[in-house]
Structure 1
Amino acid sequence: MHLIDPKGHSRRAFLQRSSALALAGTAMPFALNLSAMSEAAAQSATDYKALVCVFLFGGNDYANTVITYDDDSYNKYSTIRVPQASGGVAIAKDAALAATLLSPTVPLAGGRQYALHPQMTQLAGLFNTEGNVAVQLNVGPLVVPLSRALYNNSNKKLYPQPPKLFSHNDQQSTWQSSSPEGSTIGWGGNIGDLVLNQNSNSLFTCMSVSGNAVFLSGDSALQYQVSTGGAVRISSVSSASSASLFGSSTVKSAMQLLTQQARGHKLENEYNKVTKRAVDAEGSVTTAIQSAYPAGTFPTTGLGNQLAMVARLIRGRGTLGSKRQVFFVSMGGFDLHDNLIANQPGLMKQLSDAMAAFHRQMALEGMGDKVTAFTASDFGRTLASNGDGSDHGWGNHHFVVGGAVKGKAIYGSPQVVSIDNTSTSAGYEGHVGQGRLIPTTSVDQYGATLAKWFGVPDADLPAILPNLRNFGGSLVVNGTTYNYPKDVGFMMPA
C-alpha cells in the first residue's frame, strides 16, 4: 500500500490551488475532507444544497443505538452487556426492539440483522417505509486501514494512528476539524471559504444554531450564529426592537449613528463596520425565516427546535442569497459512564423524532433531495459495560438522512461481537480492548461519498482527500477480507 503523508501538503498550497487541495494534520478526518470538496462542486452550482451536521456531544453508545439483532450476535451482545433484568445494560429482545428492526432492501451477509434503539421508532420507520435513512456501521478517524495487530505495531510511520484517541475534547475537535483540541479551522468553515462566491451574501454560508463551533470556522468564512428564536439582536441599535432607548427615540438614533457610521480612525471604523454588518444581518435573517412552523411540525425539544430553525433558514434561502450552506446543530448528554439505561432512551427519542421531522418537512417543501443531515460524535464507546454504562471508545455507528441518500440500507462491515483479548479469537482484530471498535470505514471514505454528491469528479477526490489514497483496497485479517472503497455508496450521484 502506498501511503500519503498529509503533513506533506501545506495549508498554503490548499488555499492557493483553485482545484482545492486539502491539507491536514496527522489524520485527515471528516472535518477537512469535506472542507475541500465544495470548491469543485459549487463553483458552477445553479441549484441549492445543504449539509446539516448533528453532533452528539459526549460520545454516543453504539451498541445500544444500532443493536445487533440476529440470534447469534444478539446472544453474544447480551452475554457481554448482561440483561437489564439481571442488572446489566443489554436491551431486551422483546416486542419494542422488534418494532425497530431494520429491513434493508439487500439483506446483510451471514444473516446479520440490526435494530435501532426501541425509542428510535421514527428513524426506523423512515428507514423501512420511506427509505431515506442509511446506517453507516463503524465509522471513525483513520489514516490507513488498521487491525489490532497493525494498531499495536511499533512502526507508526507505516501504520499511523489518529492522535489522542479516546479523549473527549480532542476527538470532538478531530471530527469537526483536522486536528485535536486547539484547532481553529473546521471542515464546515473550509467549505464556506470555498463557496463564498456562490452566495450573494457570504455571511450566511456557515450557520450554527448551537453556539460557537470550530466546525464552522474558516479562514475567510465567518460563522454566523443564530438562536432557536432567530437572529441575535443588538437591542440598543436594532430597528426591529423598541423604537426608543432609555425612553428616548433621540438617544436610540444617536446610538445607531455612533455605532455604525464611517470613522476616520481605522480601529473605530472596523468596529463600526462589524456592528453595522451584525445589524444588517439580523434584519436579513429576521425577514428570511418568516413565521414559525405550525405547532406539531417539529418536536419541542432542544434538537427539534434547532432543526426547526435550520428548516426556516433553508426556506428563506432566496432572501439570504444562498445556494450552498453548511449548518451545525447538536445535542449533549451522551457521556454515559453510568445511567445508560436511564438516560439514553430520552436522547435516542429526541434524535430520532427531530431528524425524521426535519427530513419530512424538507420533503414537503420540495427540498428533500437537496438537504442531507448526518450524525457525528466524539467517538463510540466500549461494548463491555462498566456496570451501569460504558466507557470511551473509537468506531461508532452513524445515520445519514435525506432524499438523496440511498436509504433502506446498512453500509460498512458488521463487527464481530466480542471483547475477547485472545489473539486467536475471531473478534480480537476488530477492537483494541473492551470492544472499542477499530473503524472499518474511515472518515475519508465518508467524506468522499458526500463529496461525490456535491458533484466533485472522481479525478479530483485524491487531491481533495489526501488520505483517500490510502484506501480503495482491502485488508485481509485472519482470512477475512475487509474492503475500503473510496465511495461507501450511501449517496445518489450529483
Structure 2
Amino acid sequence: MNRRNFLTLTGTASSGAMLLPNFLKAAANRTVNSNSGNALVFLQLDGGNDGLNTYVPFADPLYQALRPSIGLSADDVINKNKGMGFHPALTGLAAIQQAGDMTILQNVGYPEPVKSHFRSQEIWQTGSTSSEYLRNGWLGRYLDIECNDVIPTAGMNVDRIDNLALKGSEPNSITVRNVNRFKTKLDTDFELSGHPSLDFARTIAAGTQDGSKEIQKALKKAGAESHYPKSGLAVQLKWIAQLIKGQLDSKVYYTSLAGFDTHNNQLGSHNRKLTEVNDALYAFYNDLKAAGLMDQITLIIFSEFGRRVADNGSGTDHGTAAPVFIIGGGNRGRVLGKNPDLANLEDGDLIYNIDFRSVYASLLKDKLSFDPSLIGIKNSAYFGIF
C-alpha cells in the first residue's frame, strides 16, 4: 500500500476527527534516543519572502536607488543597528532582538540557486544540493535514526498539507490541521499478521492512535490557553505552544504561512503578511517565555529564497539569498554574516554568504546532540549561533 495514501486515509496526513477500524491497537513504549530536552520549531514563509524589505539595509544608498517604488525610508525602519533595521511591522521581533533572544543570519542560501518555488523548497526541505533529488526530508532522516521504534509524534506538522522536511522511511511525524479535532476511536489489541503490506498499514494506524492519545494528553496537561491574535498563523503557533507546554514527546514542530510571492503591490501585501508573522511570533515567544521554556525551544524562520534586489515597478521577482531568524534556544543574540552587498550582485541577485545546510548542521549538533553527517549533511556547523 502507498504510504501517503494510507496516511491520508487514517488522518495522519490530514486533519479532523478519524474513525479507524477497531481491530488495531498501538504498540507501547517508544522513545527518542536523544537525551536532549531541546526541540526545534520551524516557520516556513512560502513564496519567497523579500529579505531586503524585512531586515533592511537602509543605510546603503544603492538600496533606495535600486528600489525607487518599494524602498522603505530610513525614518520608517526600526531598531537600527550598523546600517540595518527591521520593517516597521516587526515591532515584536525588534523587541525580541533587543532582549537578546534573537540571532539574525544574513544572506543565507546555497550554491547554484534555483528560483522555482517547488524546487527550492524541496532543496531546503531535503538538505540537498541543487543537482540532487532526495526522497526523504532532512528532519525525517534525523527522526529515522533517533527514534527507537516508530514514534508518530516525534515530528509535528501543524498545517494543511504534509511537509517533505519531515518525511522519512518510518512514519515518525503527523500532519494535523486542528489539534483539538485530532482524535481516533480505537481500543482493541493489535497484532502483526506476517503480511508485510498489511503489517505496515497496521503499524501506521496504530501509530495514529498513539499520536491522537498523546496529543490530547498534552493539551490537557498544558492547561488554559494563552492569548493569541486570531490569525491562522497565530492559531497554529498557539497549538504548538500548547503541545510544548503539555510535554509532548516531539523533537520537531513545523508550520508555514503562504503569501510571500510579492510580484505586485508589494508594499501593502508584504506589510500585512509581516504584521501577521510579527504578532503571532511575539505571542508565541511571550507564551513560552512566561512558561520558562524559551531556552529549550529553538524557533527558526526562513523562506525558500529572497527577492531580486531591483524592484519591478510595484513589487519584486524571485531572487536568491535572504535572512534567517533564530529565536530562543539560548542563542547569542547576534547578527551574523555580512550586510547585503548591493554593489556585488550575480545577475541582479544577492550572493549567498551562509549555506543553509551549515545552519542545519548547527541545529543538529548544538541543539539535538546529533551528528549531521549521519543524514548526509557534510557542511560544518555555523559557528556563533549558540
Using the aligned pairs only, state the percent identity.
Answer: 26
Matching residue of 1:209 = 158
- Over 3 Å counting, the alpha-carbon distance change for 1:212 and 1:49 in structure 2 is same
Equivalent residue in structure 1 for 2:62, among 73, 76, 79: 76
When Rg is computed on C-alpha atoms for both structures, the one with the higher figure is 1
Q: Structure 2: how far apart are the matches of 1:365 and 1:265?
A: 46
SS of structure 2 residue aligned to 1:63: helix
Question: How do residues 67-216 of structure 1 correspond to structure 2 at under 5 angstroms?
Answer: 67-70=56-59, 73=60, 75-82=61-68, 88-94=69-75, 96-97=76-77, 100-103=78-81, 112-128=82-98, 130-142=99-111, 161=112, 165-179=114-128, 183-197=134-148, 202-210=151-159, 211-216=161-166
Secondary structure at the counterpart of residue 142 of structure 2: helix
Structure 1 partner of 2:324:
398
Structure with higher helix content: 1
Q: Does residue 445 of structure 1 match 2:371?
A: no
Match of 1:432 among 346, 353, 365: 346
Mapped partners of 2:228, 2:175: distance in 1? 21
SS at match of 1:119: coil
Counterpart contact for 1:370–1:403, Cα < 8 Å: yes
State the partner residue of 1:50. 39
TM-score (norm 2): 0.82
1:301-380 pair list within 5 angstroms: 301-317=231-247, 320=248, 322=249, 325-380=251-306
Question: Alignment partner for residue 222 of structure 1, among 169, 172, 188?
Answer: 172
Partner of 2:26: none
CA-CA distance at 1:121 after TM superposition: 0.4
SS in 2 for 1:387: coil
Instruction: Mark the runs of 5 or more structure 1 residues left unpaired by the alignment.
Output: 1-41, 83-87, 104-111, 143-160, 240-255, 418-426, 470-485
Q: Deviations over 1:80-118 (max 9, x none)?
A: 111xxxxx1112332x42xx2244xxxxxxxx3211111
1:140-179 Cα shifts (integer Å, max 9, x gaps): 123xxxxxxxxxxxxxxxxxx35xx111100001111134
> CA–CA distance in 2 between the matches of 1:191 and 1:298?
32
User: Which deviations, in whole Å up to 9, do the C-alpha atoms of 1:201-228 show, x marking residues without a partner?
Assistant: 7221111001200010112243212223
Partner Cα separation in structure 1 for residue 121 and residue 157 of structure 2: 16
**Gapped runs of 5+ residues in structure 2?**
1-31
- 1:244 is matched with none
Report if the CA contact (8 A) 1:228-1:305 is conserved.
no
Residue 279 of structure 1 and its aligned partner are, at CA, apart by 3.0
**Whole-angstrom CA distance in 2 between matches of 1:362 and 1:227:** 21
Cα distance in structure 1, aligned partners of 2:34 and 2:304: 34
Shift of 1:134: 1.2
- Structure 1 contact 362–368 (Cα < 8 Å) conserved: yes
- Report the CA distance shift for 1:291/1:339 in structure 2 as closer, same or farther (over 3 A): farther
Specify which of 207, 213, 234 is matched with residue 283 of structure 1. 213
Match of residue 489 from structure 1: 384
Amino acid at match of 1:77: Y
